[in-house]
Structure 1
Amino acid sequence: MKQSDRDPARTGGQLLAAGLKIHGVDLIFGVPGESFLAALDALYDARDRIRFVACRQEGGAAFMAEAYGKLTGRPGVCFVTRGPGATNASIGIHTAFQDSTPFVLLIGQVSSEEAEREAFQEIDYRRMYGPMAKWVAQIDRAARIPEMLSHAFHLAVSGRPGPVVLALPEDMLDATATVADTARYRRVAAHPGAESMRRLREMLERATRPFLILGGGGWDAQACADIQAFAEANALPVGCTYRRQDLFDNRHPNYAGDISVGLNPALERRIRDADLLLVAGARLGGWTTSNYTLIGVPRPAQAFVHVHPGAEELGRVYQGDLLINAGMPEFAAAARALAPVKAAWAEATRAARADYETWQQPVASPGALNMSEVMRFLRGRLPPETIVTAGAGAYIAWVNRFYRYTGFRTQLGPTGGAMGYGVPSAIAAKLVHPERPVVSFSGDGCFLMNGQELASAADCGARVLFIVVNNGIYGTIRLNQERRYPGRVIGTDLTNPDFATLARAYGLHGEVVESTADFAPAFERAWGAKTAALLELRVDPEAASPRATLSAIRAEALTARKRGAGHQ
């Protein structure tokens, strides 16, 4: 039998749709474009298996795909058009790269006969995306679609997960080819060697003040259960890196807190005083290490064990006593299988937990609405399976410090500080898990960077609770502006719409909350709404963070400046 008898001729668009089905894709997020109409037409025939979610801007679509990748462990897929569509989507690729999220971006490209002419909306995607993707390629022949799509999916999930970009010339998607389909992709991961695990146990036996730090991508629910069992068996105190608090149940007695924005001073001292740091999955970037000051670079003061799925990361910044290249599920299973050591530090672990509980207590803040009290209410009211999403801004300090994440993938947020993430990621979360509650946090500046995706929520029937923390400023920038250039305010004041009215314009439930006492009843009304809902929390801009007001930050900076001038 000839191959042509087994495999009929198909267009590039049909081959692409077939490949996406084979690789288990059920959701594609995108904004349609003329450059990939042939692919869209093929997806029409696959609509019983693959849903194309039409978004209102490519940045929002890319964030949705990134959130899908985080939630499922499978590559999130985003489809955008050439030129402006691709540039808009770049924020999602950068986020996926820094967050180690599996992601496949498909871009319609100019036709082959127009290439290299600076044609309408033409971009060289290898040059554009090269620094922030694991692989960037252009498929110039339809016959190579199965091969290159398979490679893209394999690469996105293997080793350190991350984004892959494929450019698809318009004429290639219309061309026909006779070619066999590939099998579904499989994740490839390194396993920790027996000798490495033996050495790890020996180092634990010698330690008196060990500390376990969890972070990075590539985890799954079983890996989290395994690492929790390992921590329990060895009475280890555990901290999670920025935006990775859901890797370990925050209610667990071994949990000591998050190592990120607004670090608990007691936890900071505990990490500095540790004699063994076991870091699993985390790159240990600037947010986690207080700009590389928390842990010595390049040689930590403590005995240092670094486990990471990407061999290229090991030894890159920190020189370790033991470096283990392994996938997180593989390492966590091996760690759980280790015979426990005699933990002489159990009392220290209990003390670390007590420090965390103290740090969780609400704090006084200016204004009628206290965000720490809001978070305490939500901590007690939201079901444990709730998915909480957030973008970037000063409001994050309140969410990070006062909310407790109960299990794997109850938290979605960008480690790279991308504003505008909270709204689209929440919509994706609700589409992936319609049975679970989803709550999205955004600041007023953060929200308006992707607030148009409320239309997508309405289109999809995604019943999300959106919380907008409105303080009328770019909070993080103002905070640092006052710290470095006190009193010289420029560019950080905002003029905002009435966000509740905006939500109602999209057909959603919307309310304004101006006091702590009003939050709980407003929440219950929003929670019971039959549509998505938005609560606009109007907070005092003085409440810059849980640790200091804007005025206090400014006064401290001015005092320091005067003191410095006096010594000149």
Structure 2
Amino acid sequence: MTSNLRTGGRILVDQLVAQGCDRVFTVPGESFLAVLDALHDTPSIEAVVCRQEGGVAYMADADGKMTGMPGVAFVTRGPGATNASAGVHVAMQDSTPMILFVGDLDRGDRDREGFQEIDMAAFFAPIAKWSARIDDARRIPEYVARAYRVATAGRPGPVVLAIPEDMLRDSVEAIDRPAIAPIAQPACAGAMGALFELLKDAAAPVAIIGGADWSPAAAHHFAHFAHRHGIPVAAAFRRQDAIDNGCGVYAGQLGYGPNPKLQQRIRDADLLLVVGARLGEATTDGYTLVTPDHPGQLLVHVHPDANELGRVYRPDLPICADMAEFSETAAGWGDPDLVRFSAGDEAHGEWLAWSDPKPRDGVRLDLGPCVAAMRDALPADAIICNGAGNFSGWWHRYWRYGAMPCQLAPTSGTMGYGLPAAVAASLRFRDRVAVCVAGDGDFLMNGQELATAVRYGADVLVILVDNGAYGTIRMHQERDYPDRVSATGLTNPDFVQLTQAYGGWAERVDATADFAPALARAMERKGIRLIHCVTDVEVINSSTTIAELHSR
């Protein structure tokens, strides 16, 4: 007689296979050995073993951003879960589909403050779309299917499921569930008609795009719609690949260090078309560039989650729809009475001028021309990955992003994201160049993931900007407490030797003229390649020096 019994670990892995999961990221723990055992016999799922749970969660988030399907991670309880929580927070603020499985203590030992015990559901509840514990192995298919649905429906986000160790060892019968079909809600015809009536009456419309549910299909169709009607298109903070920057109406990015002309264009707009973005604090410059009540401006807010419409901003026309469905409908909407605005071409010209780096006098290593050298040397589909810090401003301003996905950068402003994201990007797209752009403080948050890159043969180019400081905090410090530097200086290792110790290639660059030749040598190689760019902390960001901060 054939037995239909399976362990909980086997059932869980079978559900991942059914949902189309092909890769998981993990730091192994004894609390989910039954899952690791099942993965041993599952060649369709690659288990990427990382060196710290923060790297695990960031890689899963990056994978979710690139695929539109949940990035999957496994960590153990207690310190493993708390280390991974930073990545869960990123996925929540960035609207990224992700599922984190946390191995937990035995069910019978709960509420005794056992070894590494945390109430996982309560701990993650404020930073996840859904957090729960699976206590019955027979219900694993139900929970996993629901996790995939919650992570991808409406505003995407992270789900956390605690999986007790003894539950994973139980042998039970369970009914598998099929892959979750995506839900794509179209925009209603009445709402689309109302949108185009508003466009007919508008004199200065501007679109702000990128965010929840954004996809290559949405990018393609929205670019067609906006170019057809000459509407300037601004990317929300760190959503610069929301459309190919070569599109003739792309106007640049919002967030930190945007083009002042773009900011003024948004202030002067009589109609704002916001598609996918939540209009968060960074995008709106602290809710001042566009205020929640936006007097004198009409707001059309398109978002896949009805709960986001009217949550902070008052929409004049709320539209709940799938981003690709909305964009395709808008691109094909026939309205012969709608003229083409000239503002889109003008805004694109302003962005081209803004994103063209000019050499700065007296700067030994000028990052603007370095970014220009990268534009010349790297393919248009290179994937630029970065964490948080002033260093990222040079790439936000001067890099020209191509077709999505080619930017992996946390809108939550977390440090240490760039390297794990670049490793995930290289594993997902073996035929593309994955670039980690990092500051010295940022890099050492998760520099240990160089070992993961080596183990799995990832091709990662690292541009490490070293000014010997936590530069962003130093900038705020110099502005608010001039000449009273405290707790922002750094002592760094020899990054060239550090990279070589991992088996990679590295070179130090101290002058602008030396960057392009070093980059050429890096591009001749595979594997880990790191260019250590030593810069002056006085040149604090892409447009300001410390001396200029003091004079304001």
Matched letter for residue 463 of structure 1: D
Aligned residue among 386, 391, 397 for 1:390: 386
Determine if contact 2:62/2:408 at 8 Å carries over to the other structure.
yes
What's 1:413 paired with?
A: 409
Which shows bigger deviation, 162-171 or 189-198?
189-198
Tell whether 2:22 aligns with 1:26: yes
Distance 2:39 2:296 in 1: 55
Distance 2:306 2:252 in 1: 28
Shift of 1:344: 5.1
Shift of 1:544: 0.9
Distance 2:111 2:361 in 1: 58
Secondary structure of 1:79 counterpart: strand
Task: Count residues in correspondence.
Answer: 551
Distance 1:244 1:366 in 2: 33
What's 1:216 paired with?
A: 211
Tell whether 2:271 aligns with 1:276: yes
**What are the superposed Cα offsets for residues 101-128 of structure 1, whole Å, 9 maximum, x if unpaired?**
0000000000011111010001001211
Distance 2:346 2:186 in 1: 34
Secondary structure of 2:230 counterpart: coil
Determine if contact 1:300/1:319 at 8 Å carries over to the other structure.
no
Distance 1:273 1:57 in 2: 47
Tell whether 2:551 aligns with 1:552: no
Identical pairs, percent? 48
Query: How has the CA–CA distance of structure 1 residues 513 and 254 changed in structure 2, closer, same or farther, with 3 Å as cutoff?
Result: same
Distance 1:341 1:261 in 2: 38
**What are the superposed Cα offsets for residues 145-174 of structure 1, whole Å, 9 maximum, x if unpaired?**
011111001111111100000000000000
Shift of 1:340: 4.1
Distance 1:29 1:352 in 2: 42
Q: Where do residues 62-461 of structure 1 align in structure 2 (5 Å cutoff)? A: 62-340=57-335, 342=337, 346-363=341-358, 364=360, 366-461=362-457
Determine if contact 2:223/2:247 at 8 Å carries over to the other structure.
no
Determine if contact 2:230/2:345 at 8 Å carries over to the other structure.
no
Determine if contact 1:473/1:492 at 8 Å carries over to the other structure.
yes
Shift of 1:38: 0.8
**What are the superposed Cα offsets for residues 21-56 of structure 1, whole Å, 9 maximum, x if unpaired?**
11111110010001000110011111x101111000
Matched letter for residue 81 of structure 1: T
Distance 1:291 1:345 in 2: 32
Shift of 1:217: 2.5
What's 1:517 paired with?
A: 513
Distance 1:22 1:344 in 2: 49
Secondary structure of 1:222 counterpart: helix
Determine if contact 1:208/1:345 at 8 Å carries over to the other structure.
no
Shift of 1:301: 2.7
Distance 2:156 2:318 in 1: 19
Distance 2:418 2:424 in 1: 10
Distance 1:123 1:190 in 2: 38
What's 1:564 paired with?
A: none
Matched letter for residue 257 of structure 1: G
Determine if contact 1:234/1:341 at 8 Å carries over to the other structure.
no
Shift of 1:343: 5.5
Shift of 1:477: 0.4
Distance 1:365 1:541 in 2: 15
Distance 1:202 1:340 in 2: 10
Distance 1:147 1:226 in 2: 35
Shift of 1:342: 5.0
Shift of 1:132: 0.9
Distance 2:545 2:387 in 1: 22
TM-score where L is the length of structure 1: 0.95
**What are the superposed Cα offsets for residues 249-270 of structure 1, whole Å, 9 maximum, x if unpaired?**
1122111111121011111111
Shift of 1:525: 1.0
Shift of 1:358: 1.6
Determine if contact 1:300/1:318 at 8 Å carries over to the other structure.
no
Shift of 1:186: 1.8
Matched letter for residue 501 of structure 1: Q
What's 1:482 paired with?
A: 478
Shift of 1:193: 0.9
Determine if contact 2:210/2:235 at 8 Å carries over to the other structure.
yes
Matched letter for residue 464 of structure 1: V
Determine if contact 2:251/2:350 at 8 Å carries over to the other structure.
yes
**What are the superposed Cα offsets for residues 187-225 of structure 1, whole Å, 9 maximum, x if unpaired?**
224321111011001000111111111021212211111
Secondary structure of 1:319 counterpart: coil
Q: 5+ unaligned residues in a row in structure 2: which ranges?
A: none
Shift of 1:361: 2.4
Distance 2:46 2:147 in 1: 20
Matched letter for residue 262 of structure 1: G
Distance 1:132 1:95 in 2: 9
TM-score where L is the length of structure 2: 0.98
Secondary structure of 1:247 counterpart: coil
